[in-house]
């Protein structure tokens, strides 16, 4: 039984998963192996960021999906029996992880947000959100390997270190896949990617009408940030595009500053804001749940409070 594996399709995924793997490996006194697609992170970059070994996946023939690599990954995993295999919880990562765990008859922990090694029991302990973010579920892997998917941006990307050494091995090309990609269409984006935003002003149901969202947009502009929204505004009223919905059925954000305007702070929304450094809120109900989760709160009517803030910021 040896090592922590990370399987990455892109450079960003490789660095983030190496960040997670590097937390675990020293505690377990084991190594980190990066299984990476050619053209993503280079072996040198992976080694500098904590990989002891890099297994380079062969380039796929045009039209072959990433899942075509599964037989090769499975074979290698069977041969070296890692303790854990980490994937990014992207649509493709989740699919590949689930298929690999089925092939290996291994346990799967999806959407893991924290990892540790329990020396007393010798098991990897994983945390994930449960009940729509209302609770944290703790799972201990009772057998190895365990396959783990990690939502993007849950762990800090590993930093490069000087003088690290490691081995690189090229993996054989997989057998032709029965599944072929016949066409690729870029997903239509109607708004900016708020998952990368440093500042987010989130509009909630406290706004009376669509036109008033301009107030939230002005505040976002004045703070150099982006506009986000709660689900009622995107799914029910369709005042804003779905891409802007933050929470359980929307996106997870990690801004330095989140400002909720007329947002009540229900768990399904706030679960998407867990990673925010500073949370500010404006709500006219002093008992709104968002205040318990805010660093700074203003009890007041957003139609009075926001123009006053804008007056200060825009002069």
Residues forming contacts to ligand FAD in the complex (CB under 6 A) are: 132, 204-206, 230-232, 245-250, 262-264, 266, 268-269, 272, 282-285, 288, 301-303
DSSP label at 66?
A: G
Residue among 93 and 133 whose Cβ is closer to ligand FAD: 133
Residue 157 burial (10 A CB sphere; 0-12, 13-18, 19+): middle
Nearer to ligand FAD, 79 or 190 (CB): 190
Closer residue to ligand FAD in complex, CB, 162/286: 286
**Residue of minimal Cβ distance to ligand FAD:** 247
Q: Which is nearer to ligand FAD, 40 or 283 (CB)?
A: 283
CB contact burial 70-79 (16+ within 10 A = b; e otherwise): bebbeebbee
CB 37 within 8 A of CB 9: yes
- What is the nearest approach in angstroms of ligand FAD to the Cβ of residue 151? 14
| H-only helix segments in the chain | 11-28, 43-48, 70-80, 91-104, 213-222, 231, 267-270, 302-314
Tally of residues, the chain: 315
In the bound complex, what is the minimum distance in angstroms from residue 236's beta carbon to ligand FAD? 9
Nearer to ligand FAD, 82 or 297 (CB): 297
Residue 245's SS3 state is strand
Between 177 and 230, CB nearer to ligand FAD: 230
Phi and psi of 226, rounded to 5°? -120, 160
Minimum CB–partner distance for residue 212 and ligand FAD (Å):
9
* Residue with Cβ nearer ligand FAD (274 or 284): 284
Say how far apart CA 96 and CA 87 lie, in whole Å.
8
Distance of alpha carbon 89 from its chain centroid, rounded? 7
Rounded distance between C-alpha atoms, residue 209 and residue 203, angstroms = 11
Bond from prior residue into 306 cis (ω within 30 degrees of 0):
no
DSSP-derived secondary structure letter, 251:
B
């Amino acid at each position: 039984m040896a090592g922590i594996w990370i399987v990455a399709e892109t450079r960003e995924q490789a660095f983030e998963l190496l960040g997670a793997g590097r937390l675990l490996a020293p505690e377990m006194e084991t190594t980190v192996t990066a299984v990476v697609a050619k053209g993503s992170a280079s072996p040198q970059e992976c080694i500098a960021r904590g990989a002891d070994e890099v297994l380079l996946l062969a380039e796929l023939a045009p039209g072959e999906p990433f899942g075509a690599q599964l037989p090769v990954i499975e074979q290698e995993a069977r041969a070296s029996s890692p303790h854990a295999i980490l994937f990014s919880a992207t649509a493709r990562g989740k699919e590949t992880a689930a298929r690999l765990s089925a092939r290996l008859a291994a346990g799967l922990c999806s959407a893991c947000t924290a990892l540790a090694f329990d020396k007393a029991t010798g098991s990897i302990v994983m945390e994930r959100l449960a009940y729509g973010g209302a609770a944290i579920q703790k799972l201990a892997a009772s057998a190895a390997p365990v396959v783990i998917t990690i939502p993007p941006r849950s762990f800090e990307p590993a930093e490069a270190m000087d003088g690290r050494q490691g081995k690189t091995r090229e993996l054989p090309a997989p057998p032709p896949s029965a599944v072929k990609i016949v066409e690729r269409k870029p997903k239509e984006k109607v708004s900016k990617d708020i998952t990368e935003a440093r500042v987010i002003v989130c509009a909630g149901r406290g706004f009376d009408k669509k036109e008033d969202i301009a107030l939230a947009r002005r505040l976002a502009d004045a703070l150099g940030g982006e506009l986000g929204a709660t689900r009622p505004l995107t799914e029910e009223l369709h005042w804003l595009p779905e891409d802007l919905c933050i929470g359980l059925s929307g996106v997870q954000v990690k801004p330095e500053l989140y400002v909720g305007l007329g947002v009540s702070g229900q768990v399904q929304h706030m679960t998407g804001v867990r990673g925010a450094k500073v949370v500010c809120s404006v709500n006219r109900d002093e008992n709104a749940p968002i205040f318990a989760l805010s660093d700074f709160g203003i009890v007041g009517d957003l139609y009075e409070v926001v123009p006053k803030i804008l007056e200060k910021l825009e002069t």
